[in-house]
């Protein structure tokens, strides 16, 4: 180690031993610090989950899932929130998955290297860094007022779809890039067109990787709160969106897609509402709802991580 001011000409074995011991001690100390920080980071997850379970355990019953929000903490439930979350997710998935996959396929398989492609690529990178609340402002200006979708499930779903589009595009591209050129050449040599090659070979082979991106994207979307508050989701909703083909009021039957235009609430907003109430009785509700949201998100993330892990182990393209 040159940091010590020892004259190299007079270095003895004893000196060297001392230097090495010192270096090793520093290594050891750093190793302990690193391990400590790492365990502290992981401990936060367990602390969070155990705290939620302890506070919210009493509230976690079937009634909690089947009751609407209420002014009385003990009767309040999350029915409208989880139904809303599911419906919004459905719209998000329906919009973001085809768009994301198609954009990823275009950029990997079709795009020529020119300034248009560069522009699109820089754009996607930049969109990933845009704060999520800005998407809320975008949706407020475009979807709610300019297009007249109102504060509906449709608006929320499309907003979240735009938000997670970069995630799906990037993971689609990565998955496609891992497929060797020989597959494309083989398919085209047999007379397939470029689209047929993509449709029957590239997309199916890349599917596990694409799926990982979709799941991570949806897990992100399900927990997003800020953009949904910005578009004006209500915090207190005691009804469900109209089911298709059922009677909403006397003599009026709901059309198949009426629910798209319905006001709604989602789990994160329900949690936000409960945490911002001064009455501590709602803390248990917030804990229980947080636990359910966290369980959903963590399960999705775990599936994604497992998929990625399995993928790396099993697929080995022969070159």
Q: Which of residues 215-274 bind other proteins (CB under 8 A)?
A: 216, 219-220, 222-226, 229-232, 235, 268, 271-272
Residues linked to residue 249 through DSSP beta bridges, in sequence order: 252
Looking at beta carbons only, is 36 or 74 nearer to other proteins? 36
Residue list 294-313, contact with other proteins (CB under 8 A): 294, 297-298, 301-302, 305, 309
Rg (Cα) of the chain, in Å, rounded?
27
What does the alpha-carbon distance between residue 151 and residue 288 come to, in Å, rounded to a whole number? Answer: 27
Beta strand pairing status for 247-249 and 252-253? Answer: antiparallel
Residue list 89-148, contact with other proteins (CB under 8 A): 98-99, 102-103, 105-107, 110-111, 119-120, 123-124, 126-127, 129-138, 140-142, 145
Looking at beta carbons only, is 252 or 305 nearer to other proteins? 305
Q: Whole-number minimum distance, CB 26 to other proteins, in Å?
A: 5
The full DSSP string for the chain is -TTS---GGG--HHHHHHHHHHHHHHHHHHHHHHHHHHHHHHHHHHHHHHHHHHHHGGG-SHHHHHPPP-SSTTT---HHHHHHHHHHHHHHHHHHHHHHHHHHHIIIII--SSHHHHHHHHHHHHHHTS-HHHHHHHHIIIIIIIS---SSHHHHHHHHHHHHHHHHHHHHHHHHHTS-HHHHHHHHHTT--HHHHIIIIIHHHHHHHHHHHHHHHHHHHHH--HHHHHTT--S---S-PPPTTSEEETTEEPPTTGGGGS----HHHHHHHHHT-S-THHHHHHHHHHHHHHHHHHHHHHHHHHHHHHHHHH-----
Any idea which residue has 């290594």 for tokens?
27
Q: Whole-number minimum distance, CB 97 to other proteins, in Å?
A: 11
Q: What residues have CB less than 8 Å from 166, skipping those under 6 apart?
A: 124, 125, 127, 128
Q: Whole-number minimum distance, CB 138 to other proteins, in Å?
A: 5
Residue list 178-217, contact with other proteins (CB under 8 A): 193-195, 216
Looking at beta carbons only, is 3 or 249 nearer to other proteins? 3
Looking at beta carbons only, is 197 or 262 nearer to other proteins? 197
Looking at beta carbons only, is 147 or 243 nearer to other proteins? 147
Q: Whole-number minimum distance, CB 245 to other proteins, in Å?
A: 32
Looking at beta carbons only, is 70 or 126 nearer to other proteins? 126
Q: Whole-number minimum distance, CB 223 to other proteins, in Å?
A: 3
Q: Whole-number minimum distance, CB 5 to other proteins, in Å?
A: 16
Q: Whole-number minimum distance, CB 129 to other proteins, in Å?
A: 5
- Which range in 16-24, 64-72, 204-212, 253-261 contacts other proteins by CB under 8 A? 16-24
Residue list 32-91, contact with other proteins (CB under 8 A): 33-35, 37-38, 40-42, 44-45, 47-48, 51, 55
Looking at beta carbons only, is 195 or 200 nearer to other proteins? 195
Looking at beta carbons only, is 138 or 183 nearer to other proteins? 138
Judged by CB under 8 A, the residue of 84, 157, 166, 241 near other proteins is 166
What does the alpha-carbon distance between residue 237 and residue 233 come to, in Å, rounded to a whole number? Answer: 10
Judged by CB under 8 A, the residue of 17, 18, 24, 177 near other proteins is 24
Looking at beta carbons only, is 187 or 290 nearer to other proteins? 290
- Which range in 66-74, 202-210, 239-247, 292-300 contacts other proteins by CB under 8 A? 292-300
**Cβ–Cβ under 8 Å, residues 68 and 77:** yes
């Amino acid at each position: 180690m040159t940091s010590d001011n020892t004259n190299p000409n007079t270095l003895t074995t004893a000196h060297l031993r001392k230097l090495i011991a010192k270096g090793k001690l520093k290594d050891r100390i750093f190793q302990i610090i690193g391990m400590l920080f790492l365990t502290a980071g992981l401990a936060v997850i367990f602390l969070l989950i155990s705290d939620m379970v302890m506070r919210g355990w009493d509230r976690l019953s079937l009634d909690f899932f089947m009751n609407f929000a209420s002014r009385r903490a003990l009767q309040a439930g999350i029915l409208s929130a989880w139904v809303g979350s599911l419906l919004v997710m459905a719209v998000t998935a329906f919009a973001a998955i085809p768009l994301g996959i198609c954009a990823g396929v275009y950029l990997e398989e079709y795009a020529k290297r020119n300034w248009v492609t560069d522009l699109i690529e820089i754009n996607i990178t930049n969109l990933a860094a845009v704060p999520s609340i800005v998407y809320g402002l975008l949706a407020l200006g475009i979807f709610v007022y300019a297009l007249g979708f109102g504060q509906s499930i449709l608006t929320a779903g499309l907003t979240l779809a735009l938000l997670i589009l970069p995630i799906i595009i990037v993971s689609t591209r990565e998955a496609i890039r891992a497929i060797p050129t020989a597959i494309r050449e083989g398919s085209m040599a047999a007379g397939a067109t470029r689209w047929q090659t993509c449709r029957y070979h590239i997309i199916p082979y890349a599917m596990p990787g694409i799926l990982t991106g979709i799941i991570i994207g949806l897990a992100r979307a399900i927990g997003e709160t800020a953009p949904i508050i910005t578009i004006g989701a209500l915090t207190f909703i005691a009804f469900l969106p109209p089911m298709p083909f059922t009677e909403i009021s006397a003599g009026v039957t709901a059309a198949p897609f009426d629910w798209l235009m319905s006001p709604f609430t989602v789990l994160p907003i329900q949690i936000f509402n409960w945490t911002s109430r001064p009455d501590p009785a709602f803390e248990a509700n917030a804990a229980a709802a947080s636990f359910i949201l966290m369980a959903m998100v963590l399960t999705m993330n775990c599936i994604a991580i497992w998929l990625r892990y399995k993928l790396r182990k099993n697929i080995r393209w022969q070159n």
